[in-house]
A and B are shown apart, each in its own frame.
Chain A
Amino acid sequence: MLTFIGRRVVLAIFTVWAISVLAFAIIQLPPGDYVTSYIAQMATMGSVVTDEEAQNLRIQYGLGRPIYVQYYKWVKLIAQGDFGMSMEWRRPVTEVIGERLWLTVVVSVAALILTWALALPIGVYSAVRQYSVGDYLATFVGFIGLAVPNFLLALVLLYLGFVLFNAHIGGLFSPEFNDAPWSWARVWDLLKHLPIPALILGLAGMAQQIRIMRANLLDELRKPYVVTARSKGLPEPRVITKYPVRVALNPFASTIGYTLPYIVSGSIIVSLVLGLPTVGPLLLKALIAQDMFLAGTIVLLLGVMTVIGTLVSDVLLVWIDPRIRLEET
């Protein structure tokens, strides 16, 4: 068990490293270096960067030195909590991102929970009542979820909400709470707004999970141990939930690692369509304005968050599956 978690941790560290390299590459890709564009940006604003300031910045980021030195300096600054300046906003990147990162986490986790909370019972139902009306319905919804990209779904729902109810279903807060400080009322407002984006984000993953759960459970239902359980005299619902569902849960749980990155990815585009105050719209704006420190930092933070989430889910999986838990080596 410890080796399993250990392996996962090592892999997570490598993943974070890979993400940091990619984020660094994104920062480096546009032509010209950061300081030059910073000076140019400042000039358009009418303020002048002195040579001395420019020189300090160059040294701080190791410009002009080999690329790995620059990478190292950048990582070191990040380790100190300094993610650089956003050129677009002329404020530190951390300030610009602010609570948007946490709202991204909230939306993603909500979508993940919703995905699971719905996919599990629906998948079980579909398998136990194979070829029933409910099963066909679930299959149909599943295909919609798979075939309609979530940003299109968001668009359609937004349109329907607008035309049918004349209501704007986007956003995470009512207007009066948009910039309000945190309070219980604001949290409640957030919870009220959460289901629609969470559902849109979760639908594709849910469709996939239902298919996985259904297929696995159909396999498991034919296994002899189900007959054993039945022949003991257990009531049928208990037979199903204690044994085959429990076994089918394992492959189901192991997909969580791939569901989270998928949801986080989707949240970027969906946030844009629905106008959610997450990092999504910020990332797009930063990319279009070539505000690379902001963009790189967002990519880095999203990646790291996803890795942490995946790691947590892996540990959860160990806890669920005694075959791994009891493995002695």
Chain B
Amino acid sequence: MIAPAEPALEADHTMVDVGREPVTSLPRETLLSVRNLKTYFPQDEGLVKAVDGVSFDLYPGATLGIVGESGCGKSVTARSILRIVDRPGRIVDGEIRFRRPAADGGTGTGHVVDLVKLAPDGSEMRSIRGAEIALIFQEPMSSFSPVHTVGNQIIEAIRLHQPVDRRGARDKTIEMLRRVGVSSPEQRVDQLSNQLSGGLRQRAMIAMALSCQPTLLIADEPTTALDVTTQTQILELMRQLQQEDGMAIMLITHDLGVIAEMATDVAVMYLGRVVEQAPVDAIFHNPRHPYTRALLRSIPRIRSRSRERLTPIAGSVPHPYDRPTGCPFHPRCADFMAGKCDRLEPSLRPVGDQHAVSCFLYE
């Protein structure tokens, strides 16, 4: 599963050094910079281009919301960053530049590595995975092993990355569980996950993810499977922990409400590509891409005039085996320009301050 990364490098990122050499010239101290990421799944029926040229930036302490319909490649993007894409999928192109904290743990800017170039199961990738980039995801019911205690699994994560003994790791686990609001953590630590409720499990999951103070937390639909009350609590918890620890969050969701509440920046994905990236206000008040606009029109608003109709997006997401040529959104687009959108592929271009769109309307 070693990704061949040759063609990506000669792209237009001349300021980026190849390999693991420290790179200094990243704009605005980017924590994570994804460029032209492509993750493909060869299947019997054809090649599924789950992620097909995704680019975005994430800054320290910020929250980047990634929105899109199911199947648009959000989760695969997250797993590509962690380098845990399931077989037969593999990263075929692109860069994932991640800024590692300074080795002394001080305030230095650290150095940047291209995660695509690391061996997925190599020691450097493993020292990043879990310690500097942590993941929480949707299924709170099955994201813990059913035959190991919750504590065992958190302790394992701590001992993997920190020089503490079993006793110390256990104390830290209990401490973390208390921080995420698990009541009587001394007992919970020795329970099996099926003895916890869904909300508690997600809290334990967050405790595990944050136990090593990561600089980036990837939350893949963290609240989708929870009921609304629990959902709010979990989001509130995440926000509070972010303020305390200062990590960046990459929040993947299909729920624009969650985005509005949590995100500082938003990337909108469609069929494996980012079609628009902007600060959260710009997305909600000044959306540029036709897909973003359609998406916003399709959700109900509390303050909308009564009797105003919701407009569903025309058509449906194309089958992954036959992607449209040109702009992937053109068959459903209201502003479709024949001869252009169905022939050429648009690219992400800036249209304002930190606002980029991939659409011919703005070229």
Contacts and interface: CB of A to CB of B under 8 A. Distances in A.
Asked whether the complex places CB atoms of A and B closer than 8 A, the reply is yes
Interface of A: 223-225, 227-236, 242-243, 246-247, 250, 321-323, 326
B228 interface: no
Nearest to B157: A232
B152 to A, nearest CB: 10
B125 to A, nearest CB: 8
A7 to B, nearest CB: 21
B192 A224 contact: no
Contacts of B134: 231
A225 B84 CA distance: 13
A70 B316 CA distance: 79
Given A322-B147, A323-B192, A233 B153 contact: no
Interface stretch (B136-144, B166-174, B263-271, B346-354): B136-144
A236 B125 CA distance: 12
Nearest to A243: B145
B128 interface: yes
Q: Chain B CB within 10 Å — which of A223, A229, A243 has the most?
A: A229
Contacts of A230: 82, 84, 129
A198 to B, nearest CB: 30
A233 B137 contact: no
Given A225-B142, A227-B84, A228-B143, A233 B192 contact: no
B143 A234 contact: no
Contacts of A228: 135, 137, 143-145, 153, 205, 208
Contacts of B121: 235-236
A35 to B, nearest CB: 58
B100 interface: no
Interface in B98-137: 121, 125-131, 134-135, 137
Contact of B130 (A223, A225, A232, A250): A232
B310 interface: no
Contacts of A236: 121
Interface in B181-218: 192, 194, 205, 208
15 contacts: A224-B138, A227-B135, A229-B145, A229-B153, A230-B84, A230-B129, A231-B84, A231-B129, A231-B134, A232-B130, A233-B126, A233-B129, A246-B145, A247-B146, A247-B147
Q: Chain B CB within 10 Å — which of A231, A247, A322 has the most?
A: A231
A233 B147 contact: no
A249 B139 CA distance: 23
B126 A234 contact: yes
A323 B143 contact: no
Contact of B143 (A227, A233, A235): A227
Given A231-B84, A231-B129, A246 B142 contact: no
B160 A232 contact: yes
Interface in B32-79: 79
Chain B contact residues, majority secondary structure: mixed
A224 B144 CA distance: 8
Given A227-B137, A228-B153, A323-B192, A233 B161 contact: yes
A94 B338 CA distance: 95
A250 B147 contact: yes
Given A232-B129, A232-B156, A326-B192, A224 B142 contact: yes
B135 A225 contact: no
Contacts of B148: 242-243, 246, 322
Contacts of B142: 223-225
B247 to A, nearest CB: 15
B144 to A, nearest CB: 6
A113 B131 CA distance: 41
A134 to B, nearest CB: 16
Given A228-B144, A246-B145, A247-B146, A233 B131 contact: yes
A164 to B, nearest CB: 42
For the complex of A and B, the 3 pairs showing the least CB-CB separation, nearest first, are A233-B130, A232-B130, A231-B135
Nearest to B149: A322
A224 B134 CA distance: 15
Nearest to B140: A224
Nearest to A326: B192
Interface string B273-295: 00000000000000000000000
A261 B138 CA distance: 44
A321 B147 contact: yes
Nearest to A234: B160
Nearest to A236: B121
A234 B126 CA distance: 7
B82 A231 contact: yes
Contacts of A321: 147
A225 B126 contact: no
Given A224-B137, A243-B145, A231 B130 contact: yes
A243 B156 CA distance: 12
Contacts of B146: 225, 247, 323
A247 B145 contact: yes
Nearest to B125: A233
Given A232-B156, A234-B156, A225 B128 contact: no
Contacts of B130: 231-234
Contacts of A225: 142-146
